[in-house]
Chains A and B, each alone.
Chain A
Amino acid sequence: MTHTSDKPEGITDYFASLMADMTPAATGFSAPVVNLNRRSFMQLLGIAGGGLVLGFSLKGPQAQAQEQGALAFNAYLQIRPDGKVIIQAPNPEIGQGVKTSMPMIVAEELDAAWDDVEVVQSPINAAAYGMQFAGGSRSIPQNWDTLRRAGASARAMLVAAAAARWNVPASELITADTAVHHRASGRSAAYGELADAAAKLEAPQTVSFKAVSDYKLLGKRISGVDNLKIVTGQALFGIDQVQDNLAYAVYEKCSATGGKVVSANLEHIKTLKGVKDAFILEGNGKTGELMPGVAIVADSTWAAFKAKKALQVEWDLSAASDESWADIKHQAMQLADRVPATALMESGDVTAAMTASGNKAVEGLYTHHFVAHAPLEPQNTLATWNTDGSIEIWSNTQMPGRAVTAVAGLLGIGEDKVTLHLIRAGGGFGRRLINDPVCEAAAIAQRVKGSVKLQWTREDDTSRDFFRVGGFHAMKGAVDSNGKLVAFEDHLISFTENGDAPVSGGALNQLGFPEGSCKNARLAQTLLPLQIQCGPWRAPGSNTIAWAQQSFLGELAAAAGRDQLEFLLEALAAMPEPNPQATSPAMNKHRAIATVKLAAEKAGWGKTLPAGRGMGVAFYYSHAGHVAQVAEVSVDDNKRISVHQITAVADVGPIVNLSGAEAMMQGSVVDALSTLAGQKITFENGVISPLNFDGYPLLRMNQVPPVEVHFIHSDNPPTGLGEPGIPPLAPAIGNAIFAASGQRPRTMPLSEEGYTLV
């Protein structure tokens, strides 16, 4: 575990490979369905109860191709003779609802009654199961076809078994409520009765899927499968895990990224009540795995927390971040006007259009600060080091497959010696895609040769986060004498950790809009060096790009003296027609226009509002979802903002679980408003602040506006809803503030410009 180079190794490369695994092109991939009864898999996997068992794979084609030779499935569907339908869900549950919604898709094609379905969380097994993750809103789209295929295959086999039993053609049979029915003779057989016979058949090569209009379960409201456990306080989360002879650990790292331990008052710490051990770990120099620090192992969480307060560490800061936001801002201000010679995208001549007579030019510098993920459950992991040199881990990571690889490498053991149990997470938002807490717990367990639960404090969770990166958008644009958009430029000043690629979430994603809707456009970025650790935060990139670009579109509408809505619709209509040959999802202007129009209609756009009140609209396309939002706000003379109503319209294809989908959209609005209103992480000499919720305000119930949610139920492949609801909220609010007050906010959070949310 030694590390020779000076600066720590960041996570840029880790995320580059991660994103390749999550490419939207994976949508629609359909893996084969395997009849496990015909191979002796049931025993291997410990599947009890008999009946029909089908295996299938829930992962993208890349991951599958990499794993040829491994078992070809990572999930299964079992129809037991007692009539129970067991669906094993492999993807991490972080509050986005996949543990409920993914099995619903199987149950729909199977025609199983939801009450007969039991959902189990699959184990994490690097050899057998391949990649299992929650990120990029990919869980649903990536597995849509495969899940439907699993359900439809089982249904076809059960129908074939019934046809053989009754000696009637399969075409005369229908299925409903976990049973096959023969109308002509009035006969019915429950799936459970047919399961053993169906298990002797081949899984079909081809199946057909139901039409959306025939759905009985999808689109309904289904309560989350873990809700009873949650409301009765049963052990469910990472922090709730226990093992025999468990010790409790904390891990103190340098408050500035890259600091190394010189010495610590370990002898004193070891004398404190409840402390069993204290030691220094050198780490492997990777911010996403194990950085240098001091571990304290105690007989209770509280004893460990208390000892951590008494810990005194001398840090070697020679390779540590000494960055300050004020310096970064100063540098960025010098650069804002200097657009780099090579643009990411360029069409026409922006400069000429800005200065052409008759055109009206507008400029604005938008700033967004760093923010933290702040999941309500602070990072933790339980690890047990066994005497045979293997390790067992219980963790709420969003990236369990990568955790196994990282732990094996870090501890110098084979991946077959690492067993990881995936535990429900108290919020993820992208934070748990990085496995540093897992690595820390594993290293401490190996050192003490036993079971250790590592628990971060809230302060650890905030200061050692991988932040949503801050940045600056220098916007320029022009409208012509007819009030039409003729020029659009965005120069993003962002950051790089490795001197080459932008940090995670710090690239200028190209949505195509609005730059594709005017003749003269330019997108460019300048990257400043940065050591502060950054990572993906719900709708990475989009969450801040939408704020700057879609707010600026509102500025251009105002410069043209036109209604925001009309201007937005006109700009959308000017976009090129969608490419019917496109293999990966892309923004479709017709879907975009439909969401904007419906949002405006539902919000009552154009109605007479009292003085000091205004409406704002914004559209954004991210993670394959089209979302429009309208905000109605009032602003008083003291910059106090009241948000009266948010109307959100999404086109994310068919809705799987209406309850979950609506909750995701409401939650996204609350999250985005919370972040816009007052959240800011800052740093001075590399040291992060604030550290707890007293300085990092999350929206409280009294500040939450009514949120009305509508879905356009299109037949596009569905996409996840964890992310696309986030980006349009901030510009919709910004545009509404302008409509209400004539003032244009250009800083996120708004509190930096003196606004408060009441």
Chain B
Amino acid sequence: MADFTLKINGKPHQISNIEPDTPLLWVLRDTLGLVGTKFGCGVAQCGACTIHLDGSAVRSCSMPVSAAAGMNITTIEGLASDKGELHPLQQAWIDNDVPQCGYCQAGQIMSAAALLASNPQPTDAQIDSAMSGNLCRCGTYHRVRKSIHDVAAKAVSAKTSAPTAG
């Protein structure tokens, strides 16, 4: 049993008396009540549990809490701005009606957000490779990919129109 300080969505959380091998996923869900991050397989095969650790997409089911201490953790609950403004991907997901059952979607969005943060204009192949760790049992892949492209395209048009607008 050990104590940890986790920095989640910009805020510190004291976690006490926890087994160091507990996957971050279950600390988020059971200890902190952040249930947006999902359990699908427990063995880093499905991506439902994807979060950001210092900006990179990782599978929280296979990441012991001890390894995440001190790092910046972002979950789906922290993706929108503090003022509640949705991340462009979240908005695109609604506009394109991506979810079917919806269970995989937090993980899909977190993987996509990490991709766009490092590569704002990904090709189809780059999207495929960044997203291939995220299973969707309902088969929403077409709309997932379209939504990523939509957000990337908007970022470009925002950039090119910026000088005249400003």
Contacts and interface: CB of A to CB of B under 8 A. Distances in A.
B33 to A, nearest CB: 7
A698 B137 contact: yes
A147 to B, nearest CB: 21
B36 A232 contact: yes
Interface size class of B (residues with CB under 8 A): 35 or more
Interface residues of A, number: 67
B55 interface: no
B143 A376 contact: no
Interface in A430-469: 455, 457-458
Nearest to A230: B102
A376 B129 CA distance: 21
Contact of A700 (B100, B132, B140): B132
B137 A376 contact: yes
Contacts, number: 188
Interface string B80-101: 1000001000100111011111
Contacts of B136: 376, 670
Interface string A211-226: 0000000000111101
B97 A224 contact: yes
Contacts of B39: 239, 301, 378, 455
DSSP class of B's interface residues: helix, strand, loop or mixed? loop
A664 B79 CA distance: 28
B26 A301 contact: yes
Given A95-B138, A226-B102, A300 B144 contact: no
Nearest to A462: B41
A728 interface: no
A377 B97 CA distance: 20
B85 to A, nearest CB: 11
A424 interface: yes
Given A223-B94, A234-B36, A375-B137, A701 B103 contact: no
Nearest to B106: A233
Given A300-B26, A668-B139, A698-B135, A458 B40 contact: yes
B35 A667 contact: no
A240 B139 contact: no
Nearest to B33: A242
A620 B129 CA distance: 34
B93 A231 contact: yes
Given A227-B97, A302-B22, A701 B137 contact: no
A427 B102 CA distance: 8
A666 B33 CA distance: 34
Given A232-B90, A377-B38, A693-B40, 6 more contacts: A95-B138, A232-B36, A236-B102, A376-B38, A700-B131, A701-B132
Interface of B: 1, 19, 22-23, 26, 29-31, 33-43, 45-46, 48, 75-77, 79-80, 86, 90, 93-95, 97-106, 109, 127-129, 131-132, 134-145
6 contacts: A230-B102, A305-B42, A427-B101, A663-B100, A666-B142, A666-B143
